[in-house]
A and B are shown apart, each in its own frame.
Chain A
Amino acid sequence: MSAFVDSAPPLLNASRFRAAHEVDWTRLERLLTRIEKRSVRVLSDDDLLALPLLYRSTLSSLSIARETSLDRALIAYLEQLCARAYFQLYGVSDSAWRDLGHFFTRGWPGAVASLWRETLVMAFLTIAGTVAAYMLVRADPSWYGGIVPQGLASGRDPGASAEALRATLYHSREDGLGVFASFLFGHNAQIAIFAFALGFAFVVPTALLIFYNGLMLGAMIAVFAGKGLGLNFLAWLAIHGTTELFAVIIAGAAGMRIGTAIAFPGRQARMEAVVAAGRTAAVATAGVVLMLAVAAILEGVGRQVVTSDGTRAVIGAAMLAAWLVYYYGIGRRHAQRSPD
């Protein structure tokens, strides 16, 4: 029999709980809405100091509500409120400027330095490709057409005269230097990012890409060396090539780090190994993109302006020395220890 009663009802735990804490929750919700709409900078000092306290008290409200209350709407509300507060308190990175400074002083050189083993392998692959193509083309110039695509050769093939080849090295174009440089940068940087991402397929495509890069280099050297212009070509190449080739080798090394982490995770779980490798390698790849920007400026502008072999070689050597000091002098101290 259901009868009516007038006495004070047994208040639910959830109701009492709501009455006691709703002020805090609403305040936290208001602060979060403001942060999410704009940024954390819109908060006053008082609000900023209150935020972590409100977060912790709401978190403990959630724990209590889960144990003592059956009001599902209340628990769902507290869950989403805590998650939003958590993202604002823990999920956001430091100020952009501090992050950027950290990237240049530690992150970038440290990541590259920790890839030293992979970098050596990729450098070896490049050199092997260069030597192989050099020998092949010197022995039989018809190999050249099979290695270097027509578009890239642009007249620089074994049939060209020494004069024509010399002109490609020293003829300086006055117009469109900037456009040329930015095109080169975009193209090379995209290839470097591919080399990183392709490492996921157990390194094979990345290694092929790097080896092929070496092949093209060797074939070109062979053509110029055949006409007695070998050293001139190397100087022409060195001004930007030390930076560019080094960057491509590091991109390959970054891809190799991911591929080897998948294939041989060592003592870590495979997923953990991949994540650690992926984050390090991605930072190195971001650095590679910056290196390629430097290389593009050297190639597009510096090489057109500086036409003396000696100066070109000196600039190239100086750049290489600077990168080596940056990575293995400064970076080595911040390199992550390899797991094994």
Chain B
Amino acid sequence: MRNARRTKAPVARRRSFVTPEGVDLQLELGGAGTRAAAFLIDVTLMLIVMIAVTLALFALDKATQADIAKILWLIGAFVLRNGWFVLFEMGGRGATPGKRLMRLRVVARDGARLTAGAVLARNAMREIEVFLPLSFLGAQAAAGTADAFLTIFAMLWTGIFLFFPLFNRDRLRIGDLVAGTWVVQTAISTLAADLAPANDLPRRIFPETALALYGNYELQALEDVIRGGDDLARITVAAAIRRKAGLPDDGDDDGFLADYYAALCARLEGGLLVGRRRLDKLSAVNQR
């Protein structure tokens, strides 16, 4: 059950993405929580940069008594607010520092190059998604005129745009919608060890009836169990297979599972080569 849930959650966010070579890469979209976290990291970093630059320019202002510090601050504030997302996303990584930390990346939905126009569009829309309602609310609160109606309106406005990604299946912001982009999860994984045992060890052989029990789905569930490292799960699965296949218990669960996996995998892969794809244990008999 736990396994089923773990493998199912990303499936809902898998999207087919065909390369020019015609291969479907099956990209995984970034989840709403991950993206919110990335945004918060970015905002925090922007604040830190803002404070650091302000302090530095304040010192410069004291030292020089010229306008240069004020000018730099005014232009710097504009560039920071509008340029942070744009410049980072236009770079080779297609991600701001926050997105990079959360392993996200902005990609054009049509698979083409991410153009400057797309990056500009998706980030200019952020103005009405986040900054406009916030600054509006802030200005009203500062002037002491934020009555209930205005506050509710601003909250409602922000809410519609802020939670927009939750209301569509591709998790698009308004900016993504307008720019034709989406944000994908970039997993980095190393090649897991081969489960097939080394050649020179003695192995168990299994009768035909024991191998005919299962299909691809069960094989990959077994792969998860073997790689998972949960002792209890391995013992339970080994006992279940032995019971179904009517095999005696030889006391070595790990060895049994590894050998059974190899034998079953070899059998099913042999089937694949001649065009017999057995999806699971239920689609069994007619394939024989």
Q: Report yes or no: B105 in contact with A90, Cβ–Cβ below 8 A.
A: no
Taken together as a complex, chains A and B put the C-alpha atoms of A271 and B110 apart, in Å, by 12
Whole-angstrom distance between the Cβ of B24 and the nearest chain A Cβ: 9
Q: Is B114 an interface residue (CB 8 A)?
A: yes
Which of B114, B117, B192, B227 is within 8 Å of A77, CB to CB?
B192
Q: Report yes or no: B92 in contact with A194, Cβ–Cβ below 8 A.
A: no
CB neighbours of B227 from chain A (8 A): 73
Taken together as a complex, chains A and B put the C-alpha atoms of A333 and B209 apart, in Å, by 73
Whole-angstrom distance between the Cβ of B71 and the nearest chain A Cβ: 5
CB neighbours of A275 from chain B (8 A): 109, 178-180
Which of A9, A84, A274 is within 8 Å of B178, CB to CB?
A274
Binds A, one of B32-40, B120-128, B229-237: B120-128
* Chain A residues touching B, range: 35 or more
Whole-angstrom distance between the Cβ of B150 and the nearest chain A Cβ: 16
Q: Report yes or no: A274 in contact with B248, Cβ–Cβ below 8 A.
A: no
Q: Report yes or no: A2 in contact with B250, Cβ–Cβ below 8 A.
A: yes
Q: Report yes or no: B117 in contact with A107, Cβ–Cβ below 8 A.
A: yes
Taking CB atoms and an 8 Å cut-off, the chain B residues in 233-288 that contact chain A are: 247-248, 250, 256, 262, 265-266, 268-269, 272-273
Whole-angstrom distance between the Cβ of A210 and the nearest chain B Cβ: 16
Q: Report yes or no: B205 in contact with A279, Cβ–Cβ below 8 A.
A: no
Which of A8, A14, A77, A282 is within 8 Å of B196, CB to CB?
A14
Q: Report yes or no: B191 in contact with A77, Cβ–Cβ below 8 A.
A: yes
Q: Report yes or no: B117 in contact with A282, Cβ–Cβ below 8 A.
A: yes
**Complex: chain A residue closest to B227, CB-CB:** A73
Q: Is B102 an interface residue (CB 8 A)?
A: no
Q: Report yes or no: A176 in contact with B67, Cβ–Cβ below 8 A.
A: yes
CB neighbours of A20 from chain B (8 A): none
CB neighbours of A71 from chain B (8 A): 194-195, 223, 265
Q: Is B146 an interface residue (CB 8 A)?
A: no
Q: Report yes or no: B107 in contact with A183, Cβ–Cβ below 8 A.
A: no
Taking CB atoms and an 8 Å cut-off, the chain A residues in 165-189 that contact chain B are: 175-176, 178-179, 181-183, 185-186, 189
Which of A5, A80, A274 is within 8 Å of B189, CB to CB?
A80
Which of A84, A90, A198 is within 8 Å of B111, CB to CB?
A90
Q: Report yes or no: B179 in contact with A14, Cβ–Cβ below 8 A.
A: no
**Complex: chain A residue closest to B269, CB-CB:** A13
Q: Report yes or no: A193 in contact with B27, Cβ–Cβ below 8 A.
A: no
Q: Is A227 an interface residue (CB 8 A)?
A: no
CB neighbours of B114 from chain A (8 A): 91-93
Taken together as a complex, chains A and B put the C-alpha atoms of A70 and B191 apart, in Å, by 15
Interface string of A255-290 (1 = CB under 8 A from B): 000100000000000010011011111110110010
Q: Report yes or no: B127 in contact with A68, Cβ–Cβ below 8 A.
A: no
**Complex: chain B residue closest to A55, CB-CB:** B21
Q: Report yes or no: A92 in contact with B92, Cβ–Cβ below 8 A.
A: yes
Taken together as a complex, chains A and B put the C-alpha atoms of A217 and B186 apart, in Å, by 51
Q: Is A11 an interface residue (CB 8 A)?
A: yes
Binds B, one of A59-67, A118-126, A240-248, A303-311: A59-67
A15-B196, A63-B23, A86-B19 given as contacts; is B113 within 8 A of A5 (CB)? no
Chain A positions within 8 Å of B, measured between CB atoms, are 1-6, 8-15, 18, 22, 25-26, 29, 35-36, 39-40, 56, 59-60, 62-63, 67-74, 76-77, 79-80, 82-84, 86-88, 90-93, 96, 99, 103, 107, 111, 175-176, 178-179, 181-183, 185-186, 189-190, 193-194, 196-198, 200-201, 258, 271, 274-275, 277-283, 285-286, 289
Nearest 3 A/B pairs, CB to CB? A275-B180, A282-B121, A278-B178
Task: Beyond the given A9-B262, A99-B90, please list 8 additional residue pairs across the A-B interface where CB-CB is below 8 A.
Answer: A1-B247, A1-B248, A9-B197, A13-B272, A86-B25, A194-B128, A197-B127, A278-B179
